[in-house]
């Protein structure tokens, strides 16, 4: 049984009968006079992992073992030698991850290289002096021996420094010594001029917002306002030191999870990050994290970015962290840190 053909109008029949030229052969119209450029090439070559140089791990020499024996006991030296024999240098070079990225930890000194003006090779006389208990550095030990041999009359009396009464009062209020207060990192973040309208006229003052921290888990913020620059700075610094609070830190480098703080219209969202990530946030939160001893942190300010409110919201978020022990106690369960157990070798 034949099926009927669908109805077609006259224009559709004419379109099918006319053969149109192929669009592939016709050149594409250019809207500019310059010729089209070729595809952009990569500016860096493609390097395979097998072509990279593998780090070389050489064993300890006899002289290095002799120097290590001065610091470690014979039992510890046996453990070090056993560890050297157990770990293959080829496996360590092939499977170990030697960081070369810009976010790696940068040490102040490179102890693997000898500086010609400062360092020198250790001689037998140095080893003999170390065994006798005089030490390896000749100049320092000589000066200390000379100072010990000097009589009390010959020793120069150091001039006594006058104690600032403000610092003495701050030491009595906080319970810290003057040396501990001097080691605290203080940073002024916000400074602007304010005006108070009274019946006598406009009274101008200077406002300061300062943070203070020992870079080991303690940080505080303080505000000060005075007509003089020096008085306002000192008032804000002393208030910041008085308001120092402990900040919970995971592995002494980052925070626990994600926290949020809100002051006024400013909202600050803080998130923990893996080792080597760094503090990737705006400068106000960066200074606050560095004063608290936090090295891996990410922060966002999705709403208002008022400087005073951002600092206060970040401080509120740091102090309002929820610890894993509190979560486990609230749920009635035992919580285990899988990272410390897996990488630290702890036994459950």
Q: Can you tell me the mean pLDDT for 318-322?
A: 93
Phi-psi category of residue 225: left, alpha or beta, with phi > 0 → left and psi -120 to 50 → alpha: beta
Give the CA-trace dihedral at 175, 177, 182, 185, to 10 degrees: -40
Instruction: Label residue 139 by pLDDT band (50, 70, 90).
Output: very low
Q: How far apart are CA 257 and CA 330, in angstroms?
A: 17
- SS3 assignment for the chain: CCCCCCCCCHHHHHHHHCCCCCCCCCCCCCCCCCCCCCCCCCCCCCCCHHHCCCCCCCCCCHHHHHHHHHHCCHHHHHHHHHHHHHCCHHHHHHHCCCCCCCCCCCCCCCCCCCCCCCCCCCCHHHHHHHHHCCCCCHHHHHHHHHHHHCCCCCCCCCCCCCCCHHHHHHHHHHCCCHHHHHCCEEEEEEEEEEEEEECCEEEEEEEEEEEEECCCCEEEEEEEEECCHHHHHHHHHHHHHHCCEECCCECCCECCCEEEEEECCEEEEEEECCCCCCEECCHHHHHHHHHHCCCCEEEECCCCCCHHHHHHHHHHHHHCCCCHHHHHHHHCCCCCCHHHHHHHCCCC
Is the pLDDT assigned to residue 306 strictly greater than 80?
Answer: yes
Judged against a pLDDT cut of 70, whether residue 151 lies above it is answered with no
* Averaged pLDDT for residues 186-208: 94
Min mean pLDDT across 90-94, 166-170, 194-198 is at: 90-94
Q: Helix/strand/coil (H, E, C) string of 179-199?
A: HHHHCCEEEEEEEEEEEEEEC
Among the listed ranges 127-131, 222-226, 298-302, which one has the minimum average pLDDT value? 127-131
Tokens at 30, concatenated: 């250019």
45-86, pLDDT tens digit by residue?
A: 676 666 666 566 778 888 888 888 888 888 988 888 888 888
Residue-wise pLDDT tens digits, 96-106 = 666 666 666 66
pLDDT of residue 142: 43
Question: In this predicted model, which residue has the larger pLDDT, 43 or 341?
Answer: 341
pLDDT of residue 307: 95
Range name among 6-10, 143-147, 274-278 with the lowest pLDDT average:
143-147
pLDDT at residue 25 in the model: 52
348 pLDDT band, cuts 50/70/90, is very low
CA–chain centroid gap for 9, Å, is 76
Mean pLDDT of 262-274: 95
Q: What are phi and psi of 220, to 5 degrees?
A: -155, 160
pLDDT, residue 241, reads: 95
Would the pLDDT of 272 be above 80? yes
């Amino acid at each position: 049984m034949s099926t009927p053909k669908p109805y077609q109008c006259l224009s559709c029949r004419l379109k099918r009968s006319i053969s149109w030229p192929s669009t592939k052969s016709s050149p594409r119209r250019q809207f500019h006079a310059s010729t089209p450029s070729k595809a952009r090439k990569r500016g860096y070559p493609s390097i395979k992992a097998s072509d990279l140089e593998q780090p070389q791990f050489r064993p300890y020499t006899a002289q290095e073992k002799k120097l290590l024996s001065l610091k470690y006991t014979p039992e510890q030296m046996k453990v070090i030698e056993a560890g050297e024999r157990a770990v293959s240098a080829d496996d360590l070079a092939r499977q170990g991850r030697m960081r070369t990225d810009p976010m790696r930890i940068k040490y102040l000194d490179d102890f693997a290289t000898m500086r010609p003006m400062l360092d020198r090779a250790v001689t037998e006389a140095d080893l003999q002096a170390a065994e006798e208990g005089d030490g390896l550095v000749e100049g320092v030990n000589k000066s200390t021996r000379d100072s010990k041999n000097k009589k009390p009359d010959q020793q120069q009396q150091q001039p006594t420094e006058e104690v600032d009464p403000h610092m003495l009062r701050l030491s009595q209020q906080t319970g810290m010594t003057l040396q501990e207060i001097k080691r605290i990192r203080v940073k002024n973040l916000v400074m602007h001029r304010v005006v108070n309208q009274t019946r006598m006229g406009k009274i101008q003052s200077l406002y300061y917002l300062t943070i203070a921290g020992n870079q080991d888990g303690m940080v505080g913020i303080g505000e000060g306002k005075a007509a003089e620059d020096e008085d306002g700075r000192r008032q804000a610094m002393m208030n910041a030191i008085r308001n120092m609070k402990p900040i919970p830190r995971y592995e002494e480098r980052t925070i626990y999870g994600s926290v949020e703080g809100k002051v006024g219209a400013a909202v600050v969202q803080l998130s923990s990050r893996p080792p080597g990530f760094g503090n990737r946030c705006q400068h106000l939160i960066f200074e606050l994290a560095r004063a608290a001893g936090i090295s891996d942190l990410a922060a966002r300010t999705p709403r208002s970015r008022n400087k005073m409110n951002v600092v206060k919201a970040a401080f509120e978020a740091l102090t309002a962290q929820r610890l894993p022990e509190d979560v486990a106690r609230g749920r009635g369960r035992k919580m285990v840190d899988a990272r410390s157990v897996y990488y630290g070798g702890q036994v459950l």
